[in-house]
Structure 1
Amino acid sequence: MTKYQSPPAKIISIKDLERASLPLATKQVREFWAGGASEEFTLAENISVFDEYRIRTKVMTDVSNIDMRPKEIFGKKYSFPIGFAPSGFHQLATEEGEIATAKAAKSHNWLMALSSYSTKSLEEVKQAGGENVAVLQLYVFQNRETTKKLVERAEKAGYKAIALTVDTPVVGMRPADNYNNFKLPSYVKLGNFESRDGAIDNPVSPDSIARKAVLDDSKKEEIKTSNALDPTLTWSSTIPWLRSITKMEIWVKGVATAEDTKDAINAGVDGIWVSNHGGRQLDSTLASLDSLPEVVAAANGKVPIHFDGGIRRASDAFKALALGADFVWVGRPVLYGLLYNGQKGVELMETIFETELANVMMFAGTPNVSGIDKSRIVKKGHRLQKL
């Protein structure tokens, strides 16, 4: 696992924020949020892959007024082309949990996606964040009724889209969570589920019944009506079922190939989210940035392309936008800020990204986000070739 140096004297980067925040958490929580799947090759490569691209400067361009607003989403102009990716259990960082996160999103007019496994209810978080909390990340349980109720509540509360996570037939092998026997402390509850919904399987726990059912046929039968992750999802059945129960937009999160992009579009989704779950699912798979160009090409402008994975600097976000992403999301940096100082820590994270991106856009000669395209970057060399 990563060893952290002493905290910096001043926090001016996301790396500084990481160094200052993670030592504040317990070992179990720190390694849960920082860790990845198996040997963590993909976790590391998600970050390092950005260094294989370089930004081409453009001089003698009027960059006295930098407009960092992305294209409208849900008819609203957010202030920044980066949003808060969904992540679970924010109350592990601060008592306010996702409410603090939502308040920070609202204060800087950033877009936030809420995890199904939030520690505060989707209604509470929506009230705290208003229009800035507009996306609910969704897992589909084997017990469809629990999922249906969650979707209906989100629509009633005013959410605009669900981001169906499609890369999680089961949670990846995460050694740190096994070593630490990761469990939620008693004071942390799942805010979106009530006792009458029945027991909710915690898929990140080594004791997850969904994980055990992979190799135990008797348990496969046992959990068919349980609130556990469902590995039977398909384009032909799951998307039409969701369409039948909601008018919200349906995005799919966890797409990494051209083939799945085409299948998703044929199924009628409203958005595609390129992601490998922060390197926490399959190890030695494609880094998210390596997936992005083929997904963009396959989508061919038919639906918006969202992106997450390894972004630690605004220049990383710039490169993802240049490769065709319409919107970029960050996960761990939000948690670093939350751990560091609750809402104010997340706002510090936002300020760091905003300051950096304005700087990058000025040197790249792109006074607005729409001007960020492939002409502004080059790749150092060929890493990956189709065989």
Structure 2
Amino acid sequence: MTSPLRTVVWSTGGVGSIAIDAIRGRPDLELVGVWVHSEEKVGQDAGVLAGLAPIGVTATSDADALIALKPDCVVYAASGPERDAGAVPDYLKLLAAGINVVSTSSTSLVYPPSYFSPEWRDQMQEAAQNAGVSFYASGIFPGFGSDQLALLLSTQSKKIRCLKVTEVALNDHYPVADVMMNGMGFGHPLDFEPLLKTPGFIEMAWRAPIHLMAAGLGVVVDEVRGTLDRRLTDRDIEVAFGTIKAGTCGAVSTRAAGMVNGREAIVVEHIIRMARDVAPDWLASEFDATYRVDIEGDPDIHCAMNVGAAEGHAAGHAAMAATAMRVVNAIPYVVEAPPGLLSSLDLPNTLPRHAFD
């Protein structure tokens, strides 16, 4: 039997905690280190930080100490308003040290050829190639719902006029106020201009999955067109980051359309609510999250994938678990892959090893 792959988890937030729990239960992976940002977490047992029993791995903020452990792979799950600006320097350092990286943090890297910063992408590609390691970003949306699920269903198609993928989610559990309020506009009146309303932002946010699906289907996207819609709540809503007052934004919908030969061909829609009864005319779900694929063509194909339990359960956990496992399950495949920046088009199905009890 081959030795287990030595693995480090970068952060102990929602996704990182799930990754810690998953890795410690697998015989083919060994958790050797955990990185944390806040000093109050340094020195604590990583299992305790993840809401588990102690596991004998001490959390640290010392990146060099974790690199010195010579892990085979890092599960990078740090989040925050900086996103790529904070993560890319870490990626470069890890890749240059000969460490494979799987990430849920940089959603624009689910398809590296369309990455918004060619300079950063080229630096990462060079570091990975020189060290003989790989980088892979995924999740559930962007990720599985907007690449492998859609492309798998398209294998039944003779003709495709339009391929649309949609996420419908209840995000009242997400605790980062800056992202939800200033980034997306929740809790503000509709005359507030969130980051989402910045010209070109929606197009940039959803460009990667659109171009990934296009590459898989062998078409060229001429341009991506984005739109934003918001709806008010008529009552106060208590959420993880505070209170959303009546008369402020309680639901957000973004839509990005990839144009091919002058018409909408590949569309990504993202609907987020702070309560299930806001924006009742929009597509809804009673589950933690629903991921739809709708193909208009020959034949028409419609598929809804529901993640998690129905209403009444902890919203968001199932989607976070699916996000975490997309990269944890990919670790053996990424370690075995040729060096460089990977997308889902470059890997086989990352089937879960040792998933059955």
TM > 0.5 between the two? Answer: no
Choose between structure 1 and 2: higher strand proportion: 2
Choose between structure 1 and 2: higher helix proportion: 1
Looking at both structures, which has the greater relative contact order when contacts are Cα pairs under 8 Å and sequence separation is at least 6? 1
TM-score normalised by structure 1 residue count: 0.30
TM-score normalised by structure 2 residue count: 0.31
